[in-house]
């Protein structure tokens, strides 16, 4: 997108100022994002939504508006600044909160003032992030989760993900199945694990909740002065689901000792110090509201979400690397192997993970 397009499109939103500086932001992998610093002294986040992935942008916008307005009400009641505690979608001159253009779907957020994001952190910052995800869960505890749209249908349906993997294995489009037999057998041997959350949600054993579904560290804004985690961002995957999805994916991504595509598997493990920091932070905000069964299954959720990611990487490798972008040969296979190594490591530490979790549960 050209600067001219960004400036002319921003003029169709009620920003109260004109962009004087346009800064590309490269941390996200889905949407195209820019920071706009404007003449009124305010800053905004300008995004082109990836409608190849989010095929229903109107429903996506409805989700974000519903959740952020609900949180704003909670924050106002607590005497806190809603502009720092949740995202604010800016309206267009026509009163909408997205704009369809020749370039695609455009939206603009007010930038969270006095805050920054990070891509890696100390254990203490990781714990702060966990507390923020816990507060997010708490504030939406009485939101009617079933009223939200599924922005990506069956996103964490691990039974479906397993069936998709089996299809990729059977099709063997690239002739790679024989070379990954050990990895495939590892996944197939854990079919029971794939049913844990899906079946429990279906029977009501686990309550349906509003879930973020992308609980990475860089989806938290930290206060510039104090490093307090103050705002959860990137709400595109907010959907109905289980709290297990958010906790498990945060551990999968944040407690690993190696990069997601690390070829040297000896470097890959789940760091129990980081696991404890995140668990303590998350349960400091949610222990009073989560059910006993939810708390009991938090350690299993880390294995579940890691296995899900591993089978998705391996399935894409079998299909010819058509979904996850790669920069080198075998990258998706390396990604799959790191995830499966993490699962195996978590299995060996499951008793310790349960003990840690029980220590912060109520």
Q: In CATH, what number is assigned to the domain containing residue 46?
A: 3.30.200.20
> pLDDT tens digits for 18-71?
999 999 998 766 799 999 999 999 999 999 999 988 999 999 999 999 999 999
**CA–CA dist 229, 132 (Å, integer):** 6
Same domain for 184 and 309?
yes
Same domain for 83 and 190?
no
Task: State which of 67, 85, 113 marks the end of a domain.
Answer: 113
pTM for the whole thing?
0.92
Same domain for 180 and 80?
no
Same domain for 79 and 173?
no
Query: 118 lies in a domain?
Result: no
Q: Please name which of 272, 213, 210 lies closest in space to residue 247, comparing C-alpha atoms.
A: 213
Query: 231 lies in a domain?
Result: yes
Task: State which of 63, 80, 113 marks the end of a domain.
Answer: 113
Looking at residue 339, what is its pLDDT?
98
**CA–CA dist 21, 350 (Å, integer):** 50
Same domain for 103 and 56?
yes
Which domain does 77 fall in, by range? 3-113
Looking at residue 29, what is its pLDDT?
64
Q: How many domains does the chain have?
A: 2
Task: State which of 113, 131, 166 marks the end of a domain.
Answer: 113
Same domain for 95 and 134?
no
Residue 261 sits at φ, ψ, to 5 deg, of -115, 30
Looking at residue 53, what is its pLDDT?
87
Looking at residue 324, what is its pLDDT?
87
Q: What angle do CA 281, 219, 8 make, to 5 degrees?
A: 155
Same domain for 195 and 323?
yes
Looking at residue 28, what is its pLDDT?
66
**Contacts by 294-298, CB closer than 8 A, 24 or more apart:** 294/206, 294/207, 294/242, 294/243, 294/244, 295/357, 295/358, 295/361, 296/354, 296/357, 297/196, 297/197, 297/200, 297/206, 297/244, 298/244, 298/247, 298/248, 298/357
Same domain for 71 and 179?
no
Parallel, antiparallel, or unpaired: how do β-strands 104-110 and 220-223 relate? unpaired
Low-confidence ranges of the chain (pLDDT < 70): 28-29
Same domain for 66 and 90?
yes
Looking at residue 94, what is its pLDDT?
95
Same domain for 226 and 302?
yes
Parallel, antiparallel, or unpaired: how do β-strands 209-211 and 239-241 relate? antiparallel
| Tokens 């920091």, located at residue | 277
Residue 287 sits in a domain of what CATH number?
3.90.1200.10
Looking at residue 119, what is its pLDDT?
84
Query: 279 lies in a domain?
Result: yes
Tokens standing for residue 358: 């029980």
Same domain for 68 and 190?
no
């Amino acid at each position: 997108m050209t600067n001219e397009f960004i400036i002319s499109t921003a003029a169709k939103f009620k920003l109260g100022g004109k962009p004087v500086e346009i800064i590309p932001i490269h941390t996200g992998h889905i949407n195209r994002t820019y920071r706009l610093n404007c003449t009124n002294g305010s800053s905004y986040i300008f995004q082109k939504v990836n409608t190849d992935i989010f095929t229903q942008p109107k429903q996506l916008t409805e989700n974000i508006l519903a959740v952020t307005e609900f949180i704003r009400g909670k924050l106002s009641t607590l005497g806190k600044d809603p502009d720092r505690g949740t995202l604010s979608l800016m309206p267009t001159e026509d009163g909408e909160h997205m704009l369809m253009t020749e370039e695609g779907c455009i939206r603009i957020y007010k930038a969270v003032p006095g805050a920054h994001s990070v891509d890696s952190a100390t254990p203490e910052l990781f714990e702060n992030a966990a507390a923020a995800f816990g507060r997010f869960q708490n504030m939406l505890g009485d939101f009617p989760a079933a009223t939200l749209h599924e922005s990506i249908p069956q996103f964490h349906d691990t039974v479906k993900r397993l069936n998709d993997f089996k299809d990729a294995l059977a099709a063997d489009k690239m002739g790679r199945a024989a070379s990954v037999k050990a990895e495939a057998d590892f996944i197939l041997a854990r079919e029971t694990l794939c049913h844990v959350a899906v079946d429990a949600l279906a029977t009501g054993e686990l309550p349906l909740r509003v879930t973020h579904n992308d609980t990475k560290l860089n989806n938290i804004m930290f206060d510039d002065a104090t490093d307090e985690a103050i705002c959860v961002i990137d709400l595109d995957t907010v959907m109905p689901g289980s709290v297990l999805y958010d906790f498990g994916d945060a551990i999968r991504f944040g407690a690993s000792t190696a990069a997601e595509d690390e070829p040297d598997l000896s470097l890959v493990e789940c760091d129990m110090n980081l696991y404890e920091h995140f668990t303590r932070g998350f349960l400091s905000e949610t222990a009073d509201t989560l059910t006993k069964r939810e708390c009991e299954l938090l350690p299993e959720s880390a294995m579940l979400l890691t296995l899900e990611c591993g089978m998705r990487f391996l399935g894409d490798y079998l299909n010819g690397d058509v979904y996850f972008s790669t920069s080198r040969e075998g990258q998706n296979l390396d990604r799959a192997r790191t995830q499966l190594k993490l699962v195996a490591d978590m299995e060996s530490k499951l008793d310790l993970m349960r003990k840690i979790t029980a220590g912060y549960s109520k």
